[in-house]
Structure 1
């Protein structure tokens, strides 16, 4: 019995302690909660500022809506013909400008020499031209070969009547007979010189032929 009483007392003590602890905890929680709510309410009152916004001026009422005038009646544009025939192209041919007129200049009139006071004359041989070349002048080789022929010649005569040059105008066919012709005529021929329109001696010319014939015994 004694042990039973002891155990029950101990249990009662422990229960009391536990109850006291729980009451303390609950009380602390209640106190803490009330304090927190009070502080929160105080902060809310302190931080809250009652700011009144200024009243906005009242806008005037909009004017009454007027009925829009109906749009004017526009007539539709006339139809446009796209396939329009182009106007005919007229080609204008511009004639070329007239050619400039070239003056025709007449050639100058020929200068007519005055008529000579004296009729000009050609050179005239002095003596007989047959004596200018004789049988004694026959080239030896042509004579030996019995070659014959006629040599035509033309000489230039100075104002003094002497032969200054000789040329063969038609060959005899033998060069030695042609050479003998000019050599003998130049050496032997003498002339009355040619004269001009004033009758003064001037340079002239003379033409003739010499026939080379082998002499007969």
Structure 2
């Protein structure tokens, strides 16, 4: 403004301002014209796109009717046939003209027999024996001489067979008549005399211990 005030007059300044305004207006008009052209082109492009008619969508297809299910039951399942095994061809049979001799039988060796158990020690010899008489002649004479008085009166004679049981002490404990004399008096006298007068060596068992035994004899009664 200082330059305008110094070098120019008021009319020149006005002319300059007007010139500048004109130039500015022309530039502004050009800019606005360009902008308007660009807007028109854009509007035409948009209008062209929008005006195009869209094709109507195709009509929807109706769903097929449901299949009718028959009332009859379905057929039962059929099992597949079993597989067939085809065996291979049998091997060729070889025929030999000569028959080989049979193999020798296997030799079976029996196991050794178990060792025999040791033999038991020999048993000691048995010491068993029956009862034997002791001083038989003496006591037999006493029995025969002890003649029953009734048998003497009746003059009865006879021989009585007796069997006595001998205890471990060597004495006759019981007596049985094995052969009767025919007189009960003589039979009873014989057993009574054996139990009273007879003496024995007792019987022995295997170990040599005295045990019960028996002895048989005959007593004869005779009148003098």
Q: TM-score range by the shorter chain?
A: 0.3 to 0.5
Q: What TM-score comes out, normalization by structure 1 length?
A: 0.44
Q: What TM-score comes out, normalization by structure 2 length?
A: 0.43
